[in-house]
Amino acid sequence: MSSEVLVQRLEKYLDFTSSENVNGLAIDVHVTGDIASSDVTIPESMTGWRGPTQSYAHKGAIATVLETVMAFGGIHFLKVATNAKTLCVEYFSQVPVATKLIAEATLVGKRGNVEAVLEGVLKDSSGAILARSTGTYALYTTEELLSTDGVFADLARGPNLRNAAACRPEDVTRFEETLRRM
């Protein structure tokens, strides 16, 4: 029987999907065997359509949930940094906000050592699939991270290599300050 593992993020790095970000979309990814998953609730603030009795999530919030679970799943499965190159989401049903959802991701395969393909699904509490996604992720070796100008160099030398994908280029200054405090 496989045990559940929480995929670690960079310590002190607050991004849109960090569980500490009260204004974001809190997503903690756990891995059991070959499935990455997250129990997530899309908040009312991310409503895309309001019906007479129910509000439904914006499609961008749904895509964010799926991409995040696939990305962190890829980091865990492959033990290298990942960065999304493509994301295709198919929506089957409206996704209610303020309701517990389950997002799952699996590794489909690798294309050499440069790309990986992952698939994701978003389910309601009964197990019905509300959306499905496929993503292609660029893979970065330790050597590639070390050769990057400043952004990943210190990170690649430390124990948090698997968390490098959490760092977006537009956050370079904040990320470098975070690394200095670690």
Q: Could you give the number of structural domains in the chain?
A: 1
Tell me the mean pLDDT in the region 138-150: 64
Does 157 fall in a domain? no
At 83-124, the pLDDT tens digits run: 899 999 999 999 999 999 999 999 999 999 889 999 999 999
Structure tokens at 2: 């496989």
Does 164 fall in a domain? no
Does 32 fall in a domain? yes
pLDDT at residue 178 in the model? 34
Does 169 fall in a domain? no
* Residue at token pair 């590794």: 107
What percentage of residues in the chain have a pLDDT greater than 90?
55
CATH number of domain containing 125:
3.10.129.10
pLDDT at residue 24 in the model? 87
pLDDT at residue 175 in the model? 37
> Range of 134's domain?
4-141
Does 106 fall in a domain? yes
* Distance set, CA 73 to CA 116, 137, 152, 177 (Å): 11, 11, 20, 26
At 5-49, the pLDDT tens digits run: 888 776 666 778 988 888 889 899 999 999 999 999 999 999 999
Does 155 fall in a domain? no
Which residues are within 8 A (CB) of 139 and not within 5 positions of it... i.e. 6 or more apart? 78, 80, 81, 82, 110, 113, 114, 115, 116
Give SS3 for 154: helix
Does 121 fall in a domain? yes
Between CA 157 and CA 132 the distance in angstroms is 36
Q: Quick check: 167 pLDDT over 80? A: no
CA-wise closest residue to 133 among 46, 71, 57 = 71
Does 162 fall in a domain? no
Give SS3 for 119: strand
pLDDT at residue 168 in the model? 41
Burial group, residue 158, by CB count within 10 angstroms (0-12, 13-18, 19+)? exposed
